[in-house]
């Protein structure tokens, strides 16, 4: 009996200790106390799945064999055979990471086009980690689904540029060396995201642990993959320059092949270049891994624009809109970021609005 009392006493002390840590974390780090819940996709029935991204409920529905982001309107009702379809292919950006459906660039695009009597079906066939290899396979294997003059929008991300050795292994992103502890933790990801991430203290702990396990200072060579992280190959980190050059050559071959395929099938092909916060003024505080473009030997943006120009590929590049928006905000001292907190890769709702404007302009200029 005494043992049980001692046990309960110590458990109570531990709970009180963590409660105090939780309250302190909420007070000192309010940005971690909201919009930080995640939950992987879970089936509701044979056609509908749900997920949670930055506390936003998201829904996905099977349509013509694809997983598409949905507003819970039956996709068959959303599809009108008399309209052209805009198919958006991409990664987590086009999946609407951290956003409710009405804040995604493809939803805003659809509503804006509809407001000027330009009706389109729009479907986002996107997922986390998708890259050009995935997209090409989808289009190549499902040619009967796409009608003549449909639009195929490929959302390019600077982390798409990877060596073929990564892609062959199914590795969709740059990975730094993983510790034994991290391998153990990764096995509990579901539990971590479903339950532990409800704690502000745990989210703060996770955030700073990710900084500690990376080299956030030092020269470019000693920092290795941590110098540019997921942009190592698109921006040509010194140690990986040859691999980066080959990755860009490989990317150009594939994008050219995709252009030929879409032209053969009489489809409108557009590249939507997703900006990263490293390219936008006054977003340095989001770069908590301290990625350093001074460590780059390739200008990723110039390289993608050159490839698209040489291959006569239509594209939407929202970067100048992002810069103009920020500069105007700074003049008025009303600055608000265009990306999520501590995230160099995912535009927030305002960023998605600017992406929709850029894509709208491109479609208007090329509406055949």
DSSP code at position 213: T
In a domain, 214, yes or no: no
Residue 46 lies in a domain: no
Q: Distance (Å, rounded) from C-alpha 320 to C-alpha 17?
A: 49
Whole-angstrom Cα distance, residue 218 to residue 264? 50
Report yes or no on 104 lying in a domain: yes
Instruction: Indicate whether 236 belongs to any domain.
Output: yes
| Dist. CA 21–CA 43, nearest whole Å | 35
Long-range contacts, 278-285 (Cβ 8 Å, 24+): 278/231, 278/344, 279/319, 279/322, 280/319, 280/322, 280/323, 280/326, 280/338, 280/339, 281/323, 281/326, 281/327, 281/330, 282/326, 282/330, 282/335, 282/337, 283/326, 283/337, 283/338, 283/339, 283/344
**Residue 197 structure tokens:** 């991430």
Q: Does some domain include residue 6?
A: no
Alpha helices in 216-318 (DSSP H): 220-223, 241-264, 300-310
- The model's pTM is 0.84
Q: Six-digit token pair at 4?
A: 């049980």
284 occurs within a structural domain: yes
- Enclosing domain of residue 91: 60-174+228-365
| pLDDT tens sequence across 84-123 | 999 999 999 999 999 999 999 999 999 999 998 888 999 9
Per the structure, the count of domains in the chain is 1
pLDDT at 16: 81
Residue 200, CA atoms < 13 Å, CB-side half-sphere: 17
Distance of alpha carbon 168 from alpha carbon 41, whole angstroms = 25
CA–CA separation, 228 and 231 (whole Å): 5
pLDDT tens sequence across 217-268: 778 888 888 889 999 999 999 889 999 999 999 999 999 999 998 998 899 9
**pLDDT classification of 130: cutoffs 50, 70, 90:** low
Report DSSP letters for 59-75, one per residue: EEEEETTEEEEE-SS-H
Cα angle 299-304-307, degrees, rounded to a multiple of 5: 125
- Flag whether pLDDT at 294 surpasses 60: yes
Q: Confirm whether 282 is domain-assigned.
A: yes
C-alpha 123/C-alpha 138 separation (Å) is 14
The residues pairing with 67 across neighbouring beta strands, listed in sequence order, are 62
- pLDDT number for residue 178: 47
Q: Which residues of 114-152 are buried (b: 16+ CB within 10 A; e: fewer)?
A: eeeeeebbbbbbbbeebbbbbbbebbeeeeebbeeebbb
**Residue 250 within a domain:** yes
Q: What is the CATH number of the domain that holds 300?
A: 3.40.50.1110
């Amino acid at each position: 009996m005494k043992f049980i009392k001692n046990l309960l006493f110590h458990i109570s002390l531990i709970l009180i200790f963590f409660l105090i840590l939780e309250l302190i974390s909420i007070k000192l780090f309010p940005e971690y106390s909201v919009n930080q819940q995640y939950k992987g996709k879970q089936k509701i029935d044979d056609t509908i799945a749900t997920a949670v991204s930055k506390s936003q409920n998201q829904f996905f529905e099977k349509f013509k064999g694809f997983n598409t982001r949905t507003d819970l309107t039956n996709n068959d009702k959303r599809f009108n055979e008399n309209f052209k379809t805009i198919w958006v292919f991409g990664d987590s950006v086009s999946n609407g990471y951290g956003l409710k459906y009405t804040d995604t660039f493809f939803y805003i695009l659809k509503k804006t086009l509809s407001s000027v009597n330009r009706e389109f079906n729009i479907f986002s066939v996107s997922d986390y980690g998708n890259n050009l290899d995935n997209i090409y396979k989808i289009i190549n294997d499902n040619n009967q689904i796409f009608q003549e003059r449909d639009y195929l929008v490929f959302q390019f991300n600077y982390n798409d540029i990877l060596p073929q050795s990564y892609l062959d292994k199914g590795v969709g992103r740059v990975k730094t060396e993983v510790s034994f502890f991290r391998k153990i933790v990764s096995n509990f990801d579901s539990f971590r995201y479903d339950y532990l991430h409800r704690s502000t203290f745990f989210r703060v702990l996770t955030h700073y642990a990710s900084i500690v396990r990376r080299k956030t200072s030092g020269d470019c060579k000693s920092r290795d993959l941590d110098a540019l992280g997921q942009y190592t190959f698109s921006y040509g980190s010194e140690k990986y320059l040859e691999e980066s050059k080959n990755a860009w050559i490989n990317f150009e071959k594939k994008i050219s092949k995709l252009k030929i395929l879409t032209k053969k099938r009489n489809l409108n092909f557009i590249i939507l270049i997703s900006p990263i916060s490293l390219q936008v003024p006054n977003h340095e505080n989001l770069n908590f891994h301290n990625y350093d473009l001074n460590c780059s030997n390739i200008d990723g943006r110039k390289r993608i624009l050159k490839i698209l120009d040489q291959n006569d590929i239509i594209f939407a590049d929202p970067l100048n809109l992002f810069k103009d928006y920020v500069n105007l905000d700074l003049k008025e001292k009303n600055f608000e970021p265009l990306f999520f907190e501590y995230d160099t890769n995912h535009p927030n709702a305002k960023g998605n609005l600017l992406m929709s404007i850029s894509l709208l302009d491109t479609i208007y200029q090329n509406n055949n």
